[in-house]
Structure 1
């Protein structure tokens, strides 16, 4: 049986002039492609009540957290900065409930871009509401080049899951204007951009399997073996974890 990976979805409106204002539940297709190619079955969770998170998590083997809107600063006790962009508090609350349920059940989680940020916030971390607020900013974190093009390097801890996959350095794309400020307890930083921002984390204990990356491998899978390799390695990790539970 192929592992089933749950992806909390997003809501899109005004996606077509013909269907103006018709809400659509979706996830970016790169995640679907990457997981299919890795031998998994992705399933999209529509945004729902926090009470439904437990049943959604129980229905799958693992979770992938996708990108999207800014995380609302109300979730970590701050007022919105002038540079804050679109938020969805409903999505934030549902995803945090999914995250906490997956953590409680020790189910593997791969968190990408916004996913890394909301996971951090779910356990008490905070964010820079805009990277311009980071005092040591020196790297283009919102790249101008095309999505499949690597924009900057990330230095990785060699003993980490990501370090074993990529090595000491990874060249990644970058589309984030928010970033980790304070890292939550239970997580350890394993990747940094050259200006010192945390670009990757993993769970700090042996009980949980959590990997977060600030970049977008789903946009590079057709041009980068390393990008598809991240999905391949994650799915294999889920398979190994699932076999241990049997």
Structure 2
């Protein structure tokens, strides 16, 4: 059975629900999405970067889900008041993980922050906040309705359109966004304000997939199942 590593997040706020202890977690939709396409999900906790190679021996592909803001210093900008919560241990671990995954030419997919982190590791940059996005069209990237419902449309092209069609309603929960896309990536979906919503690798011999929205929070939607299945099918 094909094995997909899912990078877990850390809950480090004081909570009686967790007996005032930190917790390692991922949304169930990440696990279910992999299971639904007949692959085995394997949770990878945020660890010391030097252990990345040992974790990668256990899996065939890696999924990096959403979470905290990406530290702006990773793409050459100063931390500003617009940046929300960051996790330096997660940034450091994922930087090493993504680098090694690409060196080994393993399939890689990111959702929301995960897509942003892939872009940053490959030399791209981010908007620290959606207020920096210029243009006459405004899109609600941090939706107020439940994340199980779509909130805005994206237009797709190339491999994105081949998989999901020309136009798609997606959910959205982010205030950072891709600014300059890495020259190793190809955009395949845009929001109506011009923000890149999905990308693939330029190199046809690589599998790098990034989605700015959250398929794991609409995991039973037909297009979400297609996204998970397409990823797992790239595993040799």
TM-score range, shorter chain: over 0.9
**Corresponding position of 1:216:** 214
Q: Displacement, 1:32?
A: 0.3
Q: Displacement, 1:18?
A: 4.9
**Corresponding position of 1:147:** 147
Change (3 A) 1:18 1:190: closer
| Structure 2 alignment gaps of length 5 or more | none
Using the alignment, how far apart are the partners of 1:171 and 1:19 within structure 2? 35
For residues 80-104 of structure 1, the C-alpha deviation after alignment (integer angstroms, 9 at most, x for no partner) is: 1212110001101111111111111
**Corresponding position of 2:115:** 116
**Corresponding position of 2:225:** 228
| Structure 1 alignment gaps of length 5 or more | none
Aligned with residue 185 of structure 2, among 172, 177, 187: 187
> What is the TM-score normalised by the length of structure 2?
0.95
For residues 152-183 of structure 1, the C-alpha deviation after alignment (integer angstroms, 9 at most, x for no partner) is: 111111x31x2211111111111110000111
Residue pair 1:14, 1:20 contacting (<8 A) in 2 also: no
Residue 127 in structure 1 maps to residue 146 in structure 2: no
> What is the TM-score normalised by the length of structure 1?
0.91
Aligned-CA RMSD value: 1.4
Q: Displacement, 1:79?
A: 1.2
Using the alignment, how far apart are the partners of 1:86 and 1:16 within structure 2? 17
Q: Report 1:2-151 matches (<5 A).
A: 2-14=1-13, 16-136=15-135, 138-151=138-151
Query: Which aligned segments of 4 or more residues in structure 1 are displaced greater than 3 angstroms?
Result: 18-21
